[in-house]
Amino acid sequence: MNHLPEYRTLLLARRERLLTITLNRPEVLNAFGAVMHIEIIDALRFAATDPGSDVIVLTGAGRAFSAGGDLDRMEECIANPAEFDREAADAKRIVFTLLDLEKPIIAKVNGHAVGLGATIALLCDVIFAAESAKIGDPHVKVGLVAGDGGAIIWPQLIGFARAKEYLMSGTLLTASKAAEIGLINHAVPDAELDDRVGIFCRELLDGATQAIRWTKTTINLELKRIAHALMDPGIAYESLSMRSEEHRNAVKAMKKKLKKRET
């Protein structure tokens, strides 16, 4: 059995032939900073070629799956837009690494999945969420275009009209509502989440490994075609919005609001 890589912002664990990747910045609700952007790509690439696993679970440590973008990191990118452009390229790699990975990936959404966190969860193959979790892509709430994958996957799951409604408003949906409209597969009581994910993973592990992988690969061909068409313009529009006064003002307002909560 090969050694599992170690990361600053992720935890990897293998049990039998199940590999679990845990987003591990609980102090900031697993928000994506510069390091996590890079490490999640490396971890997924490891998972793709890991001879010791056949099924991947992606989850978060602590109270959240992932809060999405890190506000401190947003301020750094505002001050130095080249940092954002580099990070945008990472976002594209995250999307295609998820879509290229042949092994089934199960999202265990233990808490809120927001922005890029929501995109990553929705690009997994089957999504289980705790009933207390909320999911949404509020890029617009900080003056940004939802260009890092949300505009790709939301319409495929719930149709264009609903996707536009939720992406243009930045609404966060309860897990139950998300399951009702087909955005995720299952909303389950918090206490049952681990068991429900475990049961489904066991079903996959006991199944025909190659048939399962190649079925996923065939389905993902269309998603990859769409991603190839939309990722570059989506990132370009998001890059433009990152340089806008709207974005700068929105980040300032959000940080001010958070400071008031802390005092």
Q: What is the pLDDT of residues 99-113, one digit of tens each?
A: 999 999 999 999 999
The tokens for 155 are 């319409």
Q: What is the pLDDT of residues 122-139, one digit of tens each?
A: 999 999 999 999 999 999
Output the CA–CA distances (angstroms, integers) from residue 40 to 21, 22, 43, 45, 171, in the order listed.
Answer: 9, 10, 5, 9, 26
Band of residue 1 on the pLDDT scale cut at 50, 70, 90: low
How big, in percent rounded to 5, are the helix, strand and coil portions of the chain? Answer: 60, 15, 25
Chain centroid, CA 164 distance in Å: 19
Residue 33 φ/ψ, nearest 5 degrees: -100, -170
pTM for this entry:
0.95
Q: What is the percent of the chain with per-residue pLDDT over 70, rounded to a whole number? A: 99
Cα–Cα distance, 100 to 53 (Å, whole number): 16
Q: Is the dihedral of CA 123, 40, 225, 215 positive or negative?
A: negative
Rounded mean pLDDT, 176-197: 98
SS (H, E, C) 123-148: CCCEEEEECCCEEECCHHHHCCCCCC
pLDDT score for 220: 98
**Element containing residue 52 per DSSP (H, E):** none
Cα–Cα distance, 166 to 9 (Å, whole number): 29
The tokens for 113 are 């999945």
List the domains of the chain with CATH numbers: 10-191+208-262 (3.90.226.10)
Band of residue 88 on the pLDDT scale cut at 50, 70, 90: confident
8 A C-beta contact, residue 117 and residue 133: no
pLDDT score for 212: 98
Q: Is the dihedral of CA 32, 34, 36, 39 positive or negative?
A: positive
b (16+ CB within 10 A) / e for 112-140: bbbbbbbbbbbbbbbbbbbbebbbbbbbb
DSSP string covering 168-218: HHTPEEEHHHHHHTTSSSEEE-GGGHHHHHHHHHHHHHTS-HHHHHHHHHH
Q: How many CB atoms lie within 10 A of CB 262?
A: 5
Output the CA–CA distances (angstroms, integers) from residue 238 to 115, 146, 154, in the order listed.
Answer: 13, 7, 17
Q: What is the pLDDT of residues 230-240, one digit of tens each?
A: 999 999 999 99
pLDDT score for 185: 98
pLDDT score for 259: 75
In this predicted structure, the answer to whether residue 75 has a pLDDT above a threshold of 90 is no
Could you tell me which of 32, 25, 112, 109 has the C-alpha nearest to residue 69? 32
In this predicted structure, the answer to whether residue 31 has a pLDDT above a threshold of 70 is yes
Band of residue 14 on the pLDDT scale cut at 50, 70, 90: very high
pLDDT score for 70: 79
For the ranges 63-67, 74-78, 212-216, 226-230, the lowest mean pLDDT is seen at: 74-78
Rounded mean pLDDT, 27-49: 95
8 A C-beta contact, residue 93 and residue 116: no
In this predicted structure, the answer to whether residue 169 has a pLDDT above a threshold of 80 is yes
| pLDDT, the chain, mean | 94
DSSP state of 149: T
In this predicted structure, the answer to whether residue 193 has a pLDDT above a threshold of 60 is yes
Could you tell me which of 97, 82, 79, 116 has the C-alpha nearest to residue 41? 97
